């Protein structure tokens, strides 16, 4: 019986400890001018859903917030802090949407109620009502990481106005070149290292990249590659592989007609893609290549490229 009571007490304490990690946030009713009420409510709903899905913040129910506000608009700091304190919250967020010509200006702020500190205050522009979906997701991310909008760009959340700038922060098809060195392990003759030059072309999705490589690597290589991309942000590590054909130039080829320097090739690779959200990328690539020829050619290849 004592053991059961002890387990119950420990479980209760554990639950209390878990609850204490969840901080509360008041999301003030979104205000707006020149925009349909249904569009404002939809934007607010998208924001709340995204925040609830991707953070540990506990959103205080809107009914309780409305009860405290008694139908009045609340966007200034004093009102926000007062409302947040009355509801026992840790943070409070206010957001306003305003139409200016063909654009929608979105302003928001995030306050730390306990420390009376402004954590984020930012403004962005939505080119269309439909673009508000992406804007709300970006604002939710801004709240979660407590950083301005321009610091949380990632592939798949590019706003239309960002896509229209010279650096579009968007890419699908790509083409480029890379250069570096191959470091033979076996089957390349007496060469300790050799210069390499690659041409690459492919197609990039949110989490994967596929393409073809043509390379001068102590001979001629051609393969098809696939990469898994671990991040949608500007710096994205990746892992992948390739399969193709490699004719290895080995001086032994000329002295032994019975051995072939060409064969199918298997590649394991990894590296970094930098500036992923722009219309160009810098790629740092490390490969281990195994050519299935009579010389059992194996090498490490390091290249730096621009796509």
Domain residue limits, the chain? 23-152, 173-306
Domain 173-306 is found in CATH 2.40.160.20? yes
Long-range contacts, stretch 10-17, CB < 8 angstroms, 24+ apart: none
* Dist. CA 187–CA 185, nearest whole Å: 7
Closest C-alpha to 106, from 130, 123, 129? 123
Q: 124: which 2 tokens?
A: 């962005």
Average pLDDT over residues 32-50: 91
Split at pLDDT 50, 70, 90, the class of 252 is low
Split at pLDDT 50, 70, 90, the class of 8 is very low
pLDDT at 279: 81
* Dist. CA 245–CA 87, nearest whole Å: 67
Helices 62-69 and 77-86: crossing angle in degrees, nearest 10, is 120
Split at pLDDT 50, 70, 90, the class of 230 is very high
CATH class belonging to 23-152: alpha beta
pLDDT at 6: 44
* Cα–Cα distance list, 193 to 14, 23, 189, 215 (Å): 59, 57, 11, 15
pLDDT at 189: 78
Percent of the chain with pLDDT strictly greater than 70: 84
Average pLDDT over residues 100-104: 88
Helices 37-54 and 132-145: crossing angle in degrees, nearest 10, is 40
Average pLDDT over residues 205-229: 92
Whole-model pTM over 0.85? no
The yes-or-no verdict on residue 200 having pLDDT over 50 is yes
The yes-or-no verdict on residue 148 having pLDDT over 60 is yes
The yes-or-no verdict on residue 118 having pLDDT over 70 is yes
Task: State phi, psi for 268 to the nearest 5 degrees.
Answer: -115, 130
Split at pLDDT 50, 70, 90, the class of 163 is low
Q: Can 23-152 and 173-306 be said to share one CATH topology?
A: no
pLDDT at 4: 45
Average pLDDT over residues 91-105: 91
Split at pLDDT 50, 70, 90, the class of 18 is very low
Split at pLDDT 50, 70, 90, the class of 199 is very high
Contact criterion met (CB below 8 Å) for 182 and 301 = yes
pLDDT at 250: 76
Question: CB within 8 A of 278, min separation 6: which ones?
Answer: 167, 168, 169, 171, 234
């Amino acid at each position: 019986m004592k053991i059961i009571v002890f387990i119950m007490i420990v479980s209760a304490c554990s639950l209390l400890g878990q609850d204490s990690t969840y901080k509360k946030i008041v999301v003030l009713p979104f205000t707006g001018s020149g925009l349909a009420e249904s569009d404002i409510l939809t934007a607010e709903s998208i924001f709340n859903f995204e925040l609830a899905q991707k953070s540990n913040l506990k959103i205080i129910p809107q009914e309780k917030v409305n009860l405290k506000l008694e139908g009045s608009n609340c966007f200034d700091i004093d009102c926000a802090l007062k409302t947040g304190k009355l509801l026992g919250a840790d943070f409070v967020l206010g957001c306003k949407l305003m139409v200016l010509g063909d654009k929608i200006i979105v302003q928001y702020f995030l306050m730390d109620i306990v420390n009376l500190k402004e954590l984020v205050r930012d403004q962005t522009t939505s080119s269309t009502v439909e673009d508000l979906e992406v804007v709300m997701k970006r604002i939710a991310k801004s709240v979660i990481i407590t950083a301005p909008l321009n610091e949380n760009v990632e592939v798949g959340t590019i706003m239309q106005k960002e896509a229209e700038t010279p650096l579009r922060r968007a890419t699908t098809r790509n083409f480029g070149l890379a250069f570096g060195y191959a470091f033979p392990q076996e089957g390349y003759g007496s060469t300790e290292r050799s210069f390499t030059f690659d041409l690459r072309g492919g197609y990039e999705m949110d989490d994967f990249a596929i393409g073809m490589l043509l390379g001068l690597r102590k001979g001629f290589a051609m393969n098809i590659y696939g990469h898994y991309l671990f991040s949608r942000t500007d710096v994205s590590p990746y892992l992948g592989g390739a399969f193709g054909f490699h004719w290895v130039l080995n001086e032994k080829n000329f002295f032994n007609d019975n051995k072939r320097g060409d064969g199918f090739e298997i590649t394991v690779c990894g590296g970094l893609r930098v500036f992923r959200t722009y219309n160009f990328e810098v790629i740092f690539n490390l490969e281990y290549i195994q050519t299935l020829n009579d010389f059992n050619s194996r090498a490490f290849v390091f290249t730096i490229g621009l796509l």
